[in-house]
Amino acid sequence: MPPTPRVVLDRARLQANVDRMAATAAERGQALRPHAKTHKCPQVAALQLAAGAVGLTVATLGEAEAFAEAGCGDLLIAYPVWWTSDQAWRAAELATRVRLAVGVDSVEGVQHLAELWQVPRGRTREPAAGPVALPELVVEVDSGHHRSGCAPQEARAVARAGIETGFVVRGLFTFPGHSYTPAGRREVVRQEADAVAEAARGLRAAGVPTPHVSGGSTPSVALEEAGFDELRPGVYVFGDAQQWELGTCAPQDIALTVHSTVVSHAGGRLVLDAGSKALGADRAGWATGFGRLLDHPGARIEVLSEHHAVAVLPDGEPLPPRGSVVRVVPNHVCNAVNLAEELLVADDGVVTERWPVAARGRNS
Amino acid sequence: MPPTPRVVLDRARLQANVDRMAATAAERGQALRPHAKTHKCPQVAALQLAAGAVGLTVATLGEAEAFAEAGCGDLLIAYPVWWTSDQAWRAAELATRVRLAVGVDSVEGVQHLAELWQVPRGRTREPAAGPVALPELVVEVDSGHHRSGCAPQEARAVARAGIETGFVVRGLFTFPGHSYTPAGRREVVRQEADAVAEAARGLRAAGVPTPHVSGGSTPSVALEEAGFDELRPGVYVFGDAQQWELGTCAPQDIALTVHSTVVSHAGGRLVLDAGSKALGADRAGWATGFGRLLDHPGARIEVLSEHHAVAVLPDGEPLPPRGSVVRVVPNHVCNAVNLAEELLVADDGVVTERWPVAARGRNS
């Protein structure tokens, strides 16, 4: 057993989370394409694919390469890519081996890809180093999160640019990130559905007869019943303190925790050896702390620095002794996993396997 | 040149920062022991040591091992360690090769180390695998930051426990982390000086005739003139958006930036491909955003997710075009560096060398 802080994954809870989401999607006849940026781990992806996922979502080309290497044959880079020539040719090589789609959110973004790949001038490569193929394009639509994505009424022009320059335009995707909020989730999903409906009309007008529609996030997925062919939740597979606070997972569903040693009782508080270099520093405005303790639901991490988490327990609750190990639930599990080299897989609390975080740090 | 996001280090600014801090310490007759958790990079450490640093500060045993491997012969683990037996013996092996000191902040912490190392029962190892030596102890004192560290009046008992169990107690250290604030820094330094003075009296009473006193942080170091034998700033070597906002570095001193591509103008804002997986998610309560742009001082990163930073520029300032590369200043450079595999070293804007972040992720 490596020393703390260490990332431990409860295999039974993980499998239950995988199965529950797969069943939801199957019942509703939706494809499930889980976002692999949460786990970055081939073994977790294999469980998702075995349970019926049609493929994986990734955020970067590097993640796509890592999961293709691990055997996944259908990948969506759900990001409005603006690549270098070298990245474009890496993607074109990858597209000969897997079914690949990439996001675009502007006419200029489409034109840039067309120039990089010399579409439609014969798809030749200069310098050529082997066979290449073109990914399909998927138009990113902003459904109210206001991060990236074109406005719904602009989707037609973006799709049109794709078709005119010789790409296959598969459809559209959106990320309802504003569903990460304690209230108003139903309204967010309504906005998302309206946005994709309008954008889908635009794509049909542009010449995509049956645009594929991909949406979803862990907090919103329970409500995305109509209008979506595909769902892309990520965090559901592990759960985290944000989802716990949003009520979209229960503490008994949280599969990943960071085991941390109590190193001090300074000031009558619990000082742990897991800081922002193990947990990540995420703290949404509505979050009640920098993370929580699975076995002390009333505790909150009130101070977080690189190698210290200072947790405050409710009045009267005794501090776990110095030297004991507690299970910390990070606020945002995607960033915590990206800080770890490996996940320790536990059966009934006993570590039986180690899974590498193979796509850790693959930001480009 | 690797694709964005990439971490680029301006060599001339780095050297100027190293030299400026070395000169400050030398003028005041204080030893400088820079905190290497900021850079985790042997090449940066070598510059600091060449400029007169007496050794390095680290946060973890893994960092200590990495820098010993890189040739540093004098290391302080400025952390109240609570180790496993395996870690204790790793440290005892390391102490045969370098001058090593470790932090303690409680009588129990001292007793735990004594038990692990079987002090004073002959310093034998079971199972023995080679020569071992004991690190010195340094008592951590809380000077008002209220993270770890004993209260000043408790330092005597902690030191006494160290001496009684057979350790060499070198002195004390404190981290005035509450100096990371826009106002009241002078008051913080006064608290720090009072705390270490009281703790030093305790150490003398416990039987440490001339306790060594180590303090300092990048925001406070300019004021720590009296009462400190040693200073341990870390961030000064690179600078970051926090120090820029605190006024403890100027933008023209910032040596490290994350180069990031403009991938979208969605919503009339600047969307960059450097998110929390490249920059870290740090945002102090007083920070004006999730990071800044070196060449657009009026811009603020208002939305940060894993692979997107959304920056807002002042009214009327034109957006840098899609596909252009901007220089992002992370809020907290220590966490940004810990996310990178390498630092690209630039001379006059041209990358001439790559330095590995050798101690990245060495959390234990």
In tens, the pLDDT along B114-163 reads: 999 887 655 555 544 678 899 999 999 999 999 999 999 999 999 999 99
Q: CA dihedral defined by B218, B224, B225, B229, rounded to 10 degrees?
A: -90
Q: Which domain holds residue A263?
A: 242-356
Final residue belonging to a domain, choices A222, A237, A252: A237
ipTM over 0.90: yes
Inter-chain CB proximity A83 and B3 less than 8 Å:
yes
Tell which phi-psi region holds residue A332, choosing left (phi > 0), alpha (psi between -120 and 50) or beta: beta
pLDDT score of B225 more than 90? no
Inter-chain CB proximity B303 and A147 less than 8 Å:
yes
Kindly report, residue by residue over B268-309, the tens digit of the pLDDT.
Answer: 999 999 999 999 999 999 999 999 999 999 999 999 999 999
Note whether B176 and B268 are same-domain residues.
no
pLDDT of residue B184: 87
Inter-chain CB proximity A3 and B364 less than 8 Å:
yes
Q: Per-residue pLDDT averaged across B206-233, rounded?
A: 95
pLDDT of residue B129: 63
Which run of H or E residues covers position A270?
A: strand A270-272
Note whether A257 and A227 are same-domain residues.
no
Chain A: residue whose CA lies nearest to B80 = A263
Enter the tokens of residue A47: 């469980």
Tell which phi-psi region holds residue B71, choosing left (phi > 0), alpha (psi between -120 and 50) or beta: left
Distance from CA of A27 to the nearest CA of B (A): 31
CA distance B95 to B66: 13
pLDDT score of A71 more than 90? yes
Note whether B155 and B134 are same-domain residues.
yes
Inter-chain CB proximity B338 and A339 less than 8 Å:
yes
Kindly report, residue by residue over B164-190, the tens digit of the pLDDT.
Answer: 999 999 999 999 999 998 888 999 999
pLDDT of residue B293: 98
Asked if residue B363 is part of any domain, the answer here is no
Domain count, chain B: 2
Distance from CA of A273 to the nearest CA of B (A): 9
CA distance B253 to A85: 33
Final residue belonging to a domain, choices A216, A237, A258: A237
Q: Per-residue pLDDT averaged across A249-278, rounded?
A: 98
Note whether A250 and A226 are same-domain residues.
no
Inter-chain CB proximity A82 and B263 less than 8 Å:
yes
Minimum-distance CB partner of B341 among A146, A323, A361: A361
- For residue B312, the 8-state DSSP code is E
Minimum-distance CB partner of A310 among B3, B108, B147: B147
Pair B286, B245: CB distance under 8 Å: yes
Distance from CA of B110 to the nearest CA of A (A): 12
pLDDT of residue B110: 98
Asked if residue B83 is part of any domain, the answer here is yes
CA distance B235 to B219: 9
Inter-chain CB proximity A263 and B80 less than 8 Å:
yes
CA distance B307 to B309: 7
pLDDT of residue A126: 53
Kindly report, residue by residue over A131-156, the tens digit of the pLDDT.
Answer: 889 999 999 999 999 999 999 999 99
Note whether A57 and A200 are same-domain residues.
yes
pLDDT score of A125 more than 70? no
Kindly report, residue by residue over A27-40, the tens digit of the pLDDT.
Answer: 999 999 999 999 99
B6, B82, B115, B150: best mutation site toward chain A, by most A Cβ within 10 Å? B82
Final residue belonging to a domain, choices B237, B255, B273: B237
Give the CA angle between residues A29, A34, A37 to the nearest 5°. 170
Note whether A299 and A317 are same-domain residues.
yes
The closest of B232, B293, B191 to B78, measured between CA atoms, is: B232
Asked if residue A6 is part of any domain, the answer here is no
> Comparing A204-213, B27-36, B97-106, B110-119, which segment has the lowest mean pLDDT?
B110-119
CATH number where A127 lies: 3.20.20.10
User: Is residue B92 very low, low, confident or very high in pLDDT (cuts 50, 70, 90)?
Assistant: very high
Kindly report, residue by residue over B319-361, the tens digit of the pLDDT.
Answer: 999 999 999 999 999 999 999 999 999 999 999 999 999 999 9
Enter the tokens of residue B147: 């993270």
Pair B154, B144: CB distance under 8 Å: no
Name the average pLDDT for chain B: 95
Note whether B42 and B145 are same-domain residues.
yes
pLDDT score of A280 more than 70? yes
Asked if residue B163 is part of any domain, the answer here is yes
pLDDT of residue A158: 98
In chain B, the percentage of residues whose pLDDT exceeds 70 is 97
Asked if residue B272 is part of any domain, the answer here is yes
Distance from CA of A50 to the nearest CA of B (A): 27
Note whether A246 and A222 are same-domain residues.
no
Place of tokens 């602009």: A154
CA distance A72 to A80: 21
Asked if residue B1 is part of any domain, the answer here is no
Note whether A216 and A263 are same-domain residues.
no
pLDDT of residue B183: 85
The separation between CA A211 and the C-alpha centre of its own chain, rounded to angstroms, equals 23
Asked if residue A19 is part of any domain, the answer here is yes
Tell the burial category of B152 from Cβ atoms under 10 Å away from its Cβ (0-12, 13-18, 19+): buried
Q: Per-residue pLDDT averaged across A280-289, rounded?
A: 96
Note whether B327 and B203 are same-domain residues.
no
In chain A, the percentage of residues whose pLDDT exceeds 70 is 97
Inter-chain CB proximity B146 and A266 less than 8 Å:
yes
CA distance B25 to B104: 26
ω before A127 within 30° of 0 (cis)? yes
Note whether B183 and B269 are same-domain residues.
no
pLDDT of residue B120: 63
Put simply, whether the predicted model's pTM sits higher than 0.90 gets the answer yes
Long-range contacts of A121-129 (CB under 8 A, 24+ apart): A125/A89, A125/A92, A129/A89, A129/A93
Minimum-distance CB partner of A264 among B80, B278, B363: B80
Place of tokens 């006494």: B160
CATH number where B296 lies: 2.40.37.20
Q: Per-residue pLDDT averaged across B231-247, rounded?
A: 98
Minimum-distance CB partner of B308 among A83, A147, A364: A147
Pair B167, B137: CB distance under 8 Å: yes
- Strand pairing class (A212-215; A31-32): unpaired
> Comparing A258-267, A327-336, B10-19, B113-122, which segment has the lowest mean pLDDT?
B113-122
pLDDT score of A13 more than 80? yes
Note whether B190 and B288 are same-domain residues.
no
Angle between helical axes of B11-28 and B42-50 (0-180°, round to 10): 40
Using an 8 Å CB-CB cutoff, list chain B residues near A263: 79-82, 109, 148
Asked if residue B311 is part of any domain, the answer here is yes
Inter-chain CB proximity A271 and B60 less than 8 Å:
no
Using an 8 Å CB-CB cutoff, list chain B residues near A267: 142, 146
Name the average pLDDT for chain A: 95
